[in-house]
Chains A and B, each alone.
Chain A
Amino acid sequence: DAGITQSPRHKVTETGTPVTLRCHQTENHRYMYWYRQDPGHGLRLIHYSYGVKDTDKGEVSDGYSVSRSKTEDFLLTLESATSSQTSVYFCAISAPGTSGANVLTFGAGSRLTVL
């Protein structure tokens, strides 16, 4: 998957517990993204990062935080998981300044179930 690894790939947790999803890339791309995918909604942006320690909110950021301490790693944290956060989470990367500047490459996804 073009040098993007997501972990864990599947997780079942209980309401109120913290959860961290990890995205690791080996492409040295500057931009990294977290999207969630739910039936009827397509892909919705949660947070994105444009460099180490540089992050910004997407359209559905409530209840989520992110951190990027290294170029290769982008972490998504649910401080207190709720059932509405049951979803499939995709990490993506892109390399602006190239001919395919807006082309995002996606990881395999992490399926999270909150009971």
Chain B
Amino acid sequence: EDKVVQSPLSLVVHEGDTVTLNCSYEVTNFRSLLWYKQEKKAPTFLFMLTSSGIEKKSGRLSSILDKKELSSILNITATQTGDSAIYLCAVADQGAQKLVFGQGTRLTINP
């Protein structure tokens, strides 16, 4: 059974700090790994990483996939209070059109 584990579960930092969120996975036939940000309502898509695209960057956010270690990290530099959210990691299996999610990391940025 596919499994995704995120760490830490909760993180509190000060505005301006850099944070690294972790995601490890077990999947039979890896297809892709996705990161989502969830504020008050629905999760919103951030990045998708695949074997052909192991590194993504958008502004202060970046993500890397390590297929050897079966893991991914999400980095946020120069954090702002608007980065406060739950960050969700999910993986997709080659054979299934569905995502398995981790528990999420609750990130709080204090001014």
Measured CB to CB, the residues of A under 8 A from B are 1, 31, 33, 35, 40-45, 48, 50, 58-59, 90, 94, 96, 100-109
Contacts and interface: CB of A to CB of B under 8 A. Distances in A.
Nearest to A99: B48
B41 to A, nearest CB: 5
Contact of A102 (B9, B41, B43, B48): B48
B32 A102 contact: yes
Contacts of A48: 97-98
Interface of B: 1, 4, 6, 9, 31-32, 34, 41-45, 48, 88, 90, 92, 97-104
Given A31-B97, A94-B97, A42 B45 contact: no
Contact of B88 (A42, A45, A59, A108): A42
Contact of B41 (A44, A101, A108): A108
A91 B22 CA distance: 26
Contacts of B4: 42
Contacts of B34: 102-104
Contacts of B6: 42
B48 A103 contact: yes
A94 B36 CA distance: 15
Interface of B is mostly: strand
Contacts of B88: 42-43
A42 B97 contact: no
B92 A107 contact: no
Contact of B98 (A45, A103, A106, A108): A45
B42 A50 contact: no
B31 A102 contact: yes
Nearest to A56: B98
Most interface-central of B32, B34, B43, B45 (chain A CB within 10 A): B43
B45 A105 contact: yes
Given A41-B103, A42-B104, A1 B42 contact: yes
Contacts of A1: 42
B13 to A, nearest CB: 21
